[in-house]
Homo-oligomer: A and B are copies of this chain.
Amino acid sequence: MFTILFGGASYEHEISIVSAIALKKVLKSPLGFVFLDAEGRFWQIEAEHMRSDYFADGGYKKATRLRLTEGGFEKPGLLGARKLEVGTIVNLVHGAQGEDGTIPSLLDFHRIPYIGPRKEASCVSFNKWLTKLYAEGCGVATLEWQLLRSDGPRELTLDLPVIVKPLRLGSSIGVSVVREPRQLDYALDVAFEFDDEVLIEPFVEGIEEYNVAGCRAGESWIFGRIEKPAKKEFLDFEQKYLDFARTEEVAEAEIDESLKEALKESFRKLYAHTFEGALIRCDFFVASGEIYVNEINPIPGSMANYLFDDFEGVLKRLAGHLPRPRAITPDYAYIRQVQSAKGPKLR
């Protein structure tokens, strides 16, 4: 059994709802739904209530409130709390909380099995600057970049055109292309609305883009069809929003086998062991035969279900190979040893 966890206090709260609704359409197994509202409360959502207006209109506030507990969620009650059966959680909280390490921490702390990025994976994919450092450490190229802070000088060292992005947001929120110097200030103002730091990269006209989704289940790599996203300058929020609702299967990009293999090899390097437990989508640029990673989506919209032949089967295989944290039980050997030697010192 899977339980979809969605919502969250983030700019991507709404697309997470849309994404969860899309997933409900494509999964046939028994599914549970847990909604995290912007105040940090968890709610058990009945399948028939999985409509976007139920959340927009606050209908969910009449649902059963849940509390995190060891191994899952529980419903508090006057006669004691009752455990809710959740199976494996699918973390579908996009953006802050879901992708910044918060939800993974809550789930790990309560020893709840989940599909989604772990803490380190979240950290290196959520911050676009760390993504670059990480990718280069893995041997995958990225475009050159510049970082600006809201309280620092606004001096551009890259040549125009450039693309300006809040450092820690996905879904194209706050992103602008700057073609002329006079556009820079406004683009920065917009981006700084969402983060105190922005990343600036060259905007390469007509660069080829390919999206590769996949995961590793045990020793096996599973890849979806490689997608060449429709040519647009970049997806604005509204387009991306609809993008999160996708359920229709997509045909594979018509590219030669050697490029496909090279893209998959870059994916494998980035996924490495860091992204174990997650189904991710890496978005690559290709220019002059060179592959650059643009971003790593550790929780792609509707889990990129439309790229897989047997999406449900992929989730099940992944669920069978989740990373297991080491169990650490202190034996107090050092305290006892040091105490017997220097007892009073530690009191």
**0/1 interface trace, chain A 101-126, chain B, CB 8 Å (1 if under):** 11011101111000000011011101
A238 pairs with B133, CB closer than 8 A? no
Distance between Cα atoms of A70 and B41 in the complex (Å): 10
A119 pairs with B100, CB closer than 8 A? yes
B328 pairs with A96, CB closer than 8 A? yes
**0/1 interface trace, chain A 127-168, chain B, CB 8 Å (1 if under):** 101100110110000000000010000000000000000000
Q: Given A110-B40, A120-B123, A338-B241, do A10 and B347 touch, yes or no (CB 8 Å)?
A: no
Range, interface on chain A = 35 or more
A336's nearest neighbour on chain B, judged by CB, is B56
With a cutoff of 8 Å between Cβ atoms, the chain B residues found around residue A136 in the complex are 133
Distance between Cα atoms of A132 and B129 in the complex (Å): 14
Q: Is A230 part of the binding interface, using a Cβ–Cβ cutoff of 8 Å?
A: no
Distance between Cα atoms of A128 and B123 in the complex (Å): 14
Distance between Cα atoms of A123 and B274 in the complex (Å): 12
Number of copies of chain A assembled together: 2
Instruction: Pick the contact of A120: B105, B127, B273, B336 (CB < 8 A).
Output: B127
B119 pairs with A38, CB closer than 8 A? no
Q: Is A245 part of the binding interface, using a Cβ–Cβ cutoff of 8 Å?
A: yes
A124 pairs with B130, CB closer than 8 A? yes
Instruction: Pick the contact of A133: B97, B133, B332 (CB < 8 A).
Output: B133
A328 pairs with B13, CB closer than 8 A? yes
With a cutoff of 8 Å between Cβ atoms, the chain B residues found around residue A10 in the complex are 328
Instruction: Pick the contact of A129: B52, B137, B328, B338 (CB < 8 A).
Output: B137
Q: Is A178 part of the binding interface, using a Cβ–Cβ cutoff of 8 Å?
A: no
Instruction: Pick the contact of A97: B53, B56, B109 (CB < 8 A).
Output: B109
With a cutoff of 8 Å between Cβ atoms, the chain B residues found around residue A255 in the complex are none
A41's nearest neighbour on chain B, judged by CB, is B70
Listed A/B pairs (16) with beta-carbon separation below 8 Å: A11-B328, A14-B335, A18-B335, A40-B109, A40-B111, A51-B346, A52-B347, A56-B332, A56-B335, A102-B105, A102-B108, A106-B106, A123-B123, A130-B134, A149-B273, A245-B346
State the 9 A-B residue pairs at the shortest beta-carbon distance, nearest first.
A105-B105, A123-B123, A56-B332, A13-B330, A133-B133, A102-B105, A101-B119, A52-B335, A56-B335
